[in-house]
Amino acid sequence: MELRVRDGRAVLAGEDDSGEREVDPHSLPLGADLAEALHEWAKVADAVVRTETPSDGVASALIARRGKQLAGRLAAVMNSPVSYTDPVSGDLLTVEAPEVPFEAAFTAEPEAEPEPTPWGTGLTVSAITAAIVTVTVVSLSLGLGETSRWLALVANVLVVGGLAPSVWLGRSVPVWRWVAYGVVTGVLVAWLALILTLL
């Protein structure tokens, strides 16, 4: 089987009873992700060839390397050697199928034990972050509140609205979740302190 680029599409050429035939990777049981990766590579390769990029340039080297990687994946799935025609240089290379079965090659190793949660360090980071956020929000609100309570309210909404996306993304990142917890706690404590100052 041979991997080629034809009019911006990846095709697989092979011999059968009627002679040489080219087929679309989507028509074979390769998996949608591999077939899509082949077509994306072919589209980029075709664009590079059309712009007449030098065959010894960086783009050409990347195209060749990616094509060889995809040919290797294809050989692993098909469990047979795959010839690969470099679309830029025209060189024909053969990529052998790996000796390890495809399923075993892409099966993840058993997961290691998860690391213990660093409660002491994490809560310390959360407490420091909460203190900084509380002082900042209260100072900002009281300073603006002397001018206008509406201005202080709008500033609070803008500060919390600006922090919300970062906090939402950071809540699931192992290190940044402690900072996110501290920011949420700091804002809530600051708002409680501001409500108490109004009474």
What pLDDT shows up at residue 190?
Answer: 93
Q: How many CB atoms lie within 10 A of CB 121?
A: 11
- Rounded to two decimals, what is the model's pTM? 0.44
The reported pLDDT for the residue numbered 106 is: 53
pLDDT in tens, 114-147: 778 888 999 999 999 999 999 999 999 999 888 8
The token pair that represents 81 in the structure block: 């050697």
Q: Please give the pLDDT value at position 103.
A: 52
- Computed over every residue of the chain, the mean pLDDT equals 79
Tell me: pLDDT of 191 over 80: yes
What number of other Cβ atoms are within 10 A of residue 175's Cβ? Answer: 11
pLDDT range class, residue 56, cuts 50, 70, 90: low
So what's the pLDDT on residue 182?
93
Structure tokens at 178: 């402690």
Single-letter code of the amino acid located at 118? P
How far apart CA 154 and CA 177 sit, in angstroms, is: 27
Using CA atoms, how far apart are residues 98 and 8, in angstroms rounded to an integer?
28
Q: Please say if the pLDDT value at position 102 is more than 60.
A: no
Convert the pLDDT of each residue in 31-44 to its tens digit: 777 777 777 877 77
Please give the average per-residue pLDDT across 15-19, as a whole number. Answer: 71
* Confidence (pLDDT) at 23: 72
List Cβ neighbours of 186 (8 Å cut-off, separation of 6 or more).
129, 130, 131, 132, 133, 134, 136, 137
Q: Given this model, what pLDDT does residue 60 score?
A: 73
Which pLDDT score is estimated for 53? 57
CA 6 – CA 20 distance, rounded (Å): 15
